[in-house]
């Protein structure tokens, strides 16, 4: 069975500034499977964001081949990439990006409005329950802790039913214990929903919790490790 959901070969992303060329990504081969959590680590400027943006079709490679969910995507236009992302990829960012005047429920349902889809209160409730926010559904973002805000952002990414969750520094604004709880949530979602999760982090301990750790330096993979499966911290069932 081929359960690879993202596969890239010889991926390069060069930026040109005047006569200078920045090799943000300089020849990366990578494959990500369904239900797998892959953590990308490396120093600032090593190309983590560039790699994750390319693998999630937010940006296009300068060179290389890329297959996402069975489709060849290298060389597609921005409009075509929007189509590929739709319903397939959910995004979570370091700064949460919640709308301050909307409630938790409204923030979570926002992607449905953008896509012109109907909201389904039952599904929203199930997702809020999966991320542990049932009792915060009518709160505003400013009434939440950082960890709770990131859970809202994760629920918002899940509302469209993606197969791949992409998170650039999702624990970057959180303290260690809160960051740990976000990683534990990712592990449950991967194990129970079969979501592929691609994340970047500066925290090597969080990286070690992923199924696989990839370390970047100067736009190249310099180390790759498969980590021992660790027990789930919380065993409560996710039911989406
Ligand atoms: N839009 C851009 N224009 C020019 N250079 C860029 C651009 N985006 C990123 N870079 C450069 O590419 C390299 C990798 O950046 P990035 O992927 O953001 O690294 P990381 O996420 O690991 O900190 C850096 O040298 C950065 O300055
Ligand atoms: Mg980055």
pLDDT tens-digit readout, 188-197 = 999 988 999 9
Q: Which two tokens stand for residue 113?
A: 């409005």
pLDDT of residue 237 exceeding 90: no
CATH 3.40.50.300 at 4-226, yes or no? yes
CB-proximal residues (5 Å) to ion ligand 2: 48-49
For 197-207, how does the pLDDT look when each residue is reduced to its tens digit (9 = 90+)?
Answer: 999 999 999 99
| Ligand 1 atom index nearest CA of 46 | 22
| Ligand 1: centre distance to CA 20 (Å) | 14
pLDDT of residue 235 exceeding 80: no
Q: Is 22 in the pocket of ligand 1 (CB under 6 A)?
A: yes
Confidence of residue 22 (pLDDT cuts 50, 70, 90): very high
Nearest CA to ligand 1 atom 10: 24
Q: Which two tokens stand for residue 240?
A: 């989406």
pLDDT of residue 137 exceeding 80: yes
Q: Is 49 in the pocket of ligand 1 (CB under 6 A)?
A: yes
Specify the DSSP element, H or E, that contains 25.
strand 20-33
Query: Quick one: which of 19, 121, 109, 10 has its CA closest to 61?
Result: 10
Q: What is the mean pLDDT of residues 175-191?
A: 93
The residue ranges of every structural domain in the chain are: 4-226
φ/ψ (deg, to 5) at 150: -70, -35
pLDDT of residue 173 exceeding 50: yes
Per DSSP, the chain holds a count of helices (H) and strands (E) of 7, 10
Nearest CA to ligand 1 atom 5: 15
Q: Is 201 in the pocket of ligand 1 (CB under 6 A)?
A: no
Q: What is the mean pLDDT of residues 143-157?
A: 96
If you average pLDDT over every residue of the chain, what do you get? Answer: 93
| Ligand 1: centre distance to CA 97 (Å) | 21
Q: Is 42 in the pocket of ligand 1 (CB under 6 A)?
A: yes
The span from the CA of 233 to the CA of 235, in Å, is 7
Per DSSP, 22 falls in state E
pLDDT of residue 133 exceeding 80: yes
* Proportion of the chain above pLDDT 70, given as a percent: 94
* Proportion of the chain above pLDDT 90, given as a percent: 89
| Ligand 2: centre distance to CA 193 (Å) | 27
The span from the CA of 90 to the CA of 152, in Å, is 13
Q: What is the mean pLDDT of residues 81-87?
A: 92
First to last CA, the chain: 25
Q: What is the mean pLDDT of residues 80-90?
A: 93
Nearest CA to ligand 1 atom 3: 15
Q: What is the pLDDT of residue 232?
A: 54
Residue with tokens 């349902």: 109
Q: Is 13 in the pocket of ligand 1 (CB under 6 A)?
A: no
Q: Is 50 in the pocket of ligand 1 (CB under 6 A)?
A: yes
Nearest CA to ligand 1 atom 4: 15
The span from the CA of 147 to the CA of 150, in Å, is 5
**13 and 61 Cβ atoms separated by less than 8 Å:** yes
**85 and 77 Cβ atoms separated by less than 8 Å:** no
**54 and 76 Cβ atoms separated by less than 8 Å:** no
């Amino acid at each position: 069975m081929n359960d690879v959901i993202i596969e890239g070969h010889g991926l390069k992303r060069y930026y040109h500034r005047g006569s200078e060329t920045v090799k943000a990504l300089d020849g990366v081969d990578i494959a990500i499977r369904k239900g797998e959590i892959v953590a990308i680590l490396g120093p600032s400027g090593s190309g983590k964001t560039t790699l994750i943006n390319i693998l999630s079709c937010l940006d296009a490679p300068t060179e290389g081949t890329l297959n996402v969910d069975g489709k060849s995507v290298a060389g597609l236009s921005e409009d075509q990439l929007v189509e590929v992302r739709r319903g397939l990829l959910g995004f979570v960012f370091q700064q949460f990006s919640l709308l301050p005047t909307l409630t938790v429920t409204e923030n979570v349902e926002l992607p449905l409005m953008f896509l012109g889809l109907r909201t389904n209160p039952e599904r929203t409730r199930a997702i809020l329950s999966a991320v542990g926010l049932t009792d915060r559904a009518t709160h505003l973002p400013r009434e939440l802790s950082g960890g709770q805000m990131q859970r809202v952002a994760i629920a918002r990414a899940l509302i469209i039913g993606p197969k791949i969750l992409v998170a650039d520094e999702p624990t970057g604004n959180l303290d260690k214990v809160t960051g740990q709880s976000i990683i534990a949530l990712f592990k449950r979602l991967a194990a129970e929903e079969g979501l592929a999760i691609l994340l970047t982090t500066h925290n090597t301990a969080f990286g070690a919790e992923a199924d696989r750790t990839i370390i970047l330096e100067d736009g190249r993979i310099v180390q790759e490790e498969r980590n021992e499966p660790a027990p789930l911290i919380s065993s409560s069932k996710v039911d989406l």
